[in-house]
Amino acid sequence: MKIAANITLLSFGVPLVARPDAARAVGFDGVECLFPYMISAQEMRSALNGLPLVLINTPVADWEDGARGRAAVPGEMARFAQDMQSAIDFARATGTGRIHAMAGKAQGAEAMARFKANLRAACLAAPDLTILIEPLNPFDVPGYFLNDFDMAAGIIERVGLPNLGLQFDAWHARRIHGDVTATWKRHAAITRHVQIGGFAARGAPEPDAPDEAAFFDALGDSGYDGWISAEYHDAGAGYDWLGRLRARLRGAHAQA
């Protein structure tokens, strides 16, 4: 399992184009970026300098106005298709294999039908890429359509396409379901990307804290071999947790 830095949340005190090198310098294996569209794909590819960019979101131009995507928003089919195509083009130009399709704020049966139809269209439009959906907790993102991991699993099953998977964010799992380890065990088989942050306040991960250790042991034991991305609020505490996490994951995998 390789560990990436989310260079939107982890700024390393430098501009976006310098963050991949900063992430490499402290020991990360790759990076993800929520919204890389402020620079061109060519500029991003140059900034990466061979480091993998493993995940991007669909663009949300009206983020500051409270929007959180369009995939489940009735009446936004055309705009979602444009957003998805922008993400597909950027991903292909930068060698990025995963796109998180943001659901947006909506509710009800019409939103569910629109979400499934848009996800199906996105998967068929980009069979070479993995399309991901991520439940976001209602405390941090009130009104977000996809706010439950079991709901996400049902959607993935009903869409039924092999390049649709779950983005498992441990922070959101904690806030939604409480028991992250149990939630992971239910949904590990459909997970294609993992994001981590400290359970207490979404700071740096604490691989030796009991609840986090139980999750990381289950993660290492599960056979998951994809990317793990650090997505947390960096308070400048450093990155010594990286070595401790790798050791724990190796130990759990060896015992599996």
Catalytic residue positions, numbered: 134, 231
Does the CA dihedral 245-191-203-235 come out positive or negative? positive
* Rounded Cα gap, residues 256 and 225, in angstroms: 13
Residue with tokens 């983020």: 63
- Sorted by sequence, the CB contacts under 8 Å of residue 158 that are 6+ apart come out as 116
82 contacts: CB under 8 Å, gap ≥ 6: none
* Tokens encoding 24: 């490499």
Please answer whether residues 146 and 133 qualify as being in contact, where contact means their C-beta atoms are separated by less than 8 angstroms: yes
DSSP class of residue 126 equals -
Sign of CA dihedral 195, 78, 40, 119: positive
List, in sequence order, the alpha helices (H) in 95-143. Answer: 109-125
As a whole number of angstroms, the distance between CA 72 and CA 103 comes to: 5
Enumerate the β-bridge partners of residue 227: 2
